[in-house]
């Protein structure tokens, strides 16, 4: 009898995390989820068990390294060897940077960046002895190119990339076969947009294009079975990465428009889920269904990116070579014409 593979998803009771947990459970995996709210954990656990596999839902604050380690130990003991660990949990605050208090900066950093460090290290304690497994860091296009009003979140997602790149280099040096994948996501229709702490006097809006959480789950699920370095979900994520590479200064101006794009209808500021869970059901979708594109295939990996870069480089080199050949031919033709033409005094 084949033993089910085990996947762990942090932030697994809503949005992308819950969609990802369902994707694994549908495919016959045993699934562990981590979140803070006990009610949502129980609801998500019951929904996941309908797929027929083993499910374990644990309450833990992912900013607490000991709680994350304890959760990893329980998943290993009760579900079996962890094959894939998905670091998905996050939090954010929507406010101008000078208006964000030090404890809010610290909390976003702990839940969005350090949670991925603690989750990765907890998974590695179990995976390294087997020298196999996959760790997926759920990042964002805002980890490639930051925007206003979410500076702590953007900075935390940039830090995730730096941490993962450094760890990959250590793995290469040590011969570790564990796979690390970063998945960069676009704007996604999840409940988080109703749960974020705000200090703008308005509801947080979301600029189009907006994508389905299930598309993100498909990309994460793909990473569990295919060794990829990076996965980019949605055209807007690719555009943000390209803009930042081609012209950071132009990107600054373009992203400045993101300030107004995030300001919705006037509303009282919200405490959000920064320090405590926000109320709400275990739901995948948010309130932007009217803006959401239905695509379930719009993601590319570093392999397609590298082919594109190689092709562009070949075109550039070919263009330079053609120009050089043309210039050389023109010089030779000029010298030949000077020899053939009569001298004029």
Class of residue 153 by CB neighbours under 10 A (exposed 0-12, middle 13-18, buried 19+)? buried
Nearest CA to 119 out of 152, 145, 86, 74 is that of 86
Q: Which pair of structure tokens corresponds to residue 117?
A: 């460090």
Q: How far apart are CA 141 and CA 157, in angstroms?
A: 9
Question: What is the radius of gyration, based on Cα positions, of the chain?
Answer: 24
Which helix (DSSP H) or strand (DSSP E) does residue 6 occupy? strand 6-10
3-class SS string, 273-303:
CCCCCCCCCCCCCCCCHHHEECCCCCEEEHH
Q: Are 90 and 14 in contact (CB under 8 A)?
A: no
Point out which residues pair with 30 in neighbouring strands.
6
What number of residues does the chain have? 345
Q: Which residues contact 290 (CB under 8 A, 6 or more apart)?
A: none
Q: Are 187 and 10 in contact (CB under 8 A)?
A: no
Q: Are 219 and 299 in contact (CB under 8 A)?
A: yes
Nearest-10 crossing angle of helices 115-127, 65-78: 40
Nearest CA to 28 out of 65, 10, 58, 2 is that of 2
Q: How far apart are CA 191 and CA 283, in angstroms?
A: 7
Which residues are marked as active site? 153
SS3 of 318, please?
Answer: helix
Nearest CA to 163 out of 222, 198, 120 is that of 120
């Amino acid at each position: 009898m084949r033993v089910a593979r085990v996947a762990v998803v942090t932030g697994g009771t809503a949005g992308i995390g819950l969609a990802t947990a369902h994707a694994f459970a549908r495919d016959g995996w045993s699934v562990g989820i981590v979140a803070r709210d006990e009610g949502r954990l129980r609801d998500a656990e019951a929904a996941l068990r309908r797929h027929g596999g083993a499910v374990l839902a644990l309450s833990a604050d992912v900013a607490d390294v000991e709680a994350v380690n304890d959760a990893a130990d329980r998943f290993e003991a009760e579900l079996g060897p962890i094959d894939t660990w998905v670091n998905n949990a996050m939090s954010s605050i929507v406010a101008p940077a000078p208006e964000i208090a030090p404890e809010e900066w610290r909390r976003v950093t702990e839940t969005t960046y350090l949670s991925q460090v603690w989750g990765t290290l907890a998974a590695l304690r179990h995976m390294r002895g087997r020298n196999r497994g996959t760790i997926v860091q759920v990042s964002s296009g805002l980890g490639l190119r930051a925007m206003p009003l979410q500076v702590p979140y953007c900075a935390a997602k940039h830090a995730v990339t730096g941490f993962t790149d450094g760890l990959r280099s250590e793995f290469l040096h040590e011969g570790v076969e564990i796979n690390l994948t970063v998945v960069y996501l676009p704007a996604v229709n999840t409940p988080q947009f109703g749960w974020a702490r705000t200090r703008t006097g308005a509801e947080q809006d979301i600029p189009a294009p907006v994508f389905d959480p299930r598309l993100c789950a498909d990309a994460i699920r793909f990473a569990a079975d295919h060794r990829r370095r990076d996965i980019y979900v949605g055209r807007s994520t690719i555009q943000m990465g390209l803009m930042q590479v081609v012209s950071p200064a132009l990107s600054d101006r373009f992203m400045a428009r993101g300030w107004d794009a995030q300001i919705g209808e006037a509303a009282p500021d919200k405490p959000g889920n920064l320090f405590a869970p926000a109320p709400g059901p275990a739901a995948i979708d948010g309130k932007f269904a009217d803006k959401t594109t239905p695509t379930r295939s719009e993601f590319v990996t570093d392999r397609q990116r590298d082919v594109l870069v190689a092709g562009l480089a070949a075109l550039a080199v070919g263009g330079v070579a053609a120009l050089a050949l043309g210039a050389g031919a023109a010089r030779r033709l000029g010298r030949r014409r000077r020899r053939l033409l009569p001298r004029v005094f």
